[in-house]
A and B are shown apart, each in its own frame.
Chain A
Amino acid sequence: NAGVMQNPRHLVRRRGQEARLRCSPMKGHSHVYWYRQLPEEGLKFMVYLQKENIIDESGMPKERFSAEFPKEGPSILRIQQVVRGDSAAYFCASSSGTGGQDTQYFGPGTRLTVL
């Protein structure tokens, strides 16, 4: 039973380019969370999605960032016109959505470097 998959593991972009980060949840999980980890910091929540729905995007910057979790395929976190401050590790976590006792399982992260 594969865990949470993220790709790419490392992504290098120049300022102004677009970054697309992918997350495939664990089998049977339909809830995905995206977190960002800046250097020497803890993880900060960005967005929570269920299949085809954004449930909570309170941690996501209002501009340039978007997320989706289509009916088929992985969840995508898109960053348009990247800037140096977007350099960070981006983690996704998935859960089964069974409520309060639900545990979030993390992927290995994508490290984004903006030149």
Chain B
Amino acid sequence: AQTVTQSQPEMSVQEAETVTLSCTYDTSESDYYLFWYKQPPSRQMILVIRQEAYKQQNATENRFSVNFQKAAKSFSLKISDSQLGDAAMYFCAYRRYSGNTPLVFGKGTRLSVIA
């Protein structure tokens, strides 16, 4: 079974600075998808960024980028120019490549942004 591990329960960052959230996963498959979801205090799950394992290029969405290391099974999220609105729980998630399959989530990292 696939597992996702987020080893940092909590992180903090100064406003305008950069922070990196870690995620590792375990799978025997070669093709899959990886995601970062944001959950603000409203509890709404918001998709931040997505990476296809067959793509070598790291995904980027504005201030959010990932460092995908397939051999190491590592998928970290970098947030640049942090803003107060970035404060939230961040969840790393895995999904198999084939068909319509459920997401496997890590336990999350709570990010605080200090003004």
Contact = CB atoms under 8 A, between A and B. Distances in A.
B47 A42 contact: no
Contacts, number: 59
Q: How large is the interface on A (under 10, 10 to 19, 20 to 34, 35 or more residues)?
A: 20 to 34
A100 B45 contact: no
Interface of B: 4, 33, 37, 42-47, 50, 52, 91, 97-108
Nearest to B6: A42
Q: Is the interface of B mostly helix, strand, loop or mixed?
A: loop
Contacts of A44: 105
Q: Is the interface of A mostly helix, strand, loop or mixed?
A: strand
Give the interface centre of B46, B91, B99, B106 by most chain A CB atoms within 10 Å. Answer: B99
Given A31-B100, A33-B102, A99-B100, A91 B45 contact: yes
Interface of A: 31, 33, 35, 40-45, 48, 55-56, 59, 89, 91, 93, 95, 97, 99-106, 108-109, 111
Given A42-B4, A102-B100, 6 more contacts: A42-B107, A43-B105, A45-B102, A48-B101, A55-B100, A91-B45
Q: Which 8 A-B pairs have the closest CB atoms?
A: A42-B105, A106-B45, A45-B102, A43-B105, A42-B107, A108-B44, A109-B43, A100-B97
